[in-house]
Amino acid sequence: MYISPHIRRLIDLALDEDDIGFDVTSVAFFSEVDKTAQLLAKEDLVVCGVDLVQAVFDRVDPKIRWQFDVSDGAKVKSGTVFGRATGPALSLLRGERVALNFMQRMTGVSTQTNRFAVLLQGSKTKIVDTRKTLPGWRELDKYAVRTGGGGNHRFSLSGGVMVKDNHIFAAGSVKKAVEKARNSAPHTLKIEVEVDRWSQLDPALEAGADIIMLDNMTTAEMKKAIEHIRDFSDRIIIEASGNITIERLPELKNIGLDIISSGALTHSVRACDISMKLDLS
């Protein structure tokens, strides 16, 4: 994993927030003597954030070195020790919470994404994220989605043209909205149109949309729309979004969708249970 300047700023912000230079509890019990720490998975998970853990401790104390038995993307069973560190005990404890906060959140996203991806195996349909990410954490959230076997939708507003209901309302029609977007956007960007009713489908097709997003439709409505789109053109990418739960994936995986996008991969994910223990023997 590339630790970008933005991620380094996040790390520094988190360490400053935790006031790590004033661990009034640990200084009463530990000195700078070297100790060993272990990372323990307390549930089945898909590991994510190995390089970030080391990056956190590099900022706390460069003398701390981590060794991991696995890489990002590895599936680990509950009860498995998958990482070990050596270094000054006080420094290990100073960085513990921040490192775990990063890894637990990222591993939660990768583990959740993997659950979705596994259910789509055997089909051409790919699960991707949305922009419903933790503010400031988009780079990490989207990396974790890829680690779990998913893909990324546009990274930011500049990553693609997505014509939605507000744009259509402002333009007066789907056709006019697509024309306005095409006239102002770089030629390198694809144009996606969000369709939430049948009456919008033909205008989006005729306007030359590159991607059609079927938004908040029932499975029966999607099947009908997909057949109609494929009769029009086989080059158009078809995406489903809105009210996409993990329970719906089995009925959606083989109906002809190219992409399923789900905010559930990131917006309300539960952090995985991982702990760090010092070896005090």
Q: What is the CATH number of domain 5-117+270-279?
A: 3.90.1170.20
- Write the single-letter amino acid at 185: A
Which one of 59, 84, 97, 175 is the catalytic residue? Answer: 97
The residue extents of the domains of the chain are 5-117+270-279, 160-265
CA distances from 218 to 8, 166, 196, 252 (A): 43, 22, 10, 10
Which one of 75, 126, 132, 182 is the catalytic residue? Answer: 132
Active site residue 194: yes
Q: Give me the average pLDDT of each 10-residue run along the chain (281 residues).
A: 96 95 83 91 98 97 95 98 95 96 98 97 96 96 98 94 94 93 91 94 95 96 97 96 93 96 95 93 67
Please give the structure tokens belonging to residue 62.
């460069």
Global confidence as pTM:
0.94
pLDDT for the residue 125: 97
pLDDT for the residue 280: 75
Query: In terms of DSSP bridges, do strands 45-46 and 75-76 run parallel, antiparallel, or are they unpaired?
Result: antiparallel
Residue found under tokens 């546009």 = 154
Which one of 164, 176, 190, 248 is the catalytic residue? Answer: 164
CATH 3.20.20.70 fits 160-265, yes or no: yes
pLDDT for the residue 281: 67
Active site residue 190: no
Which one of 23, 129, 141, 194 is the catalytic residue? Answer: 194
Which one of 23, 129, 215, 239 is the catalytic residue? Answer: 215
pLDDT for the residue 21: 84
Active site residue 126: no
Question: Across 136-281, where does the E strand assignment appear?
Answer: 161-163, 191-195, 211-215, 237-241, 259-261, 274-279
Output the CA torsion 186→189→195→201 (10° steps). 80
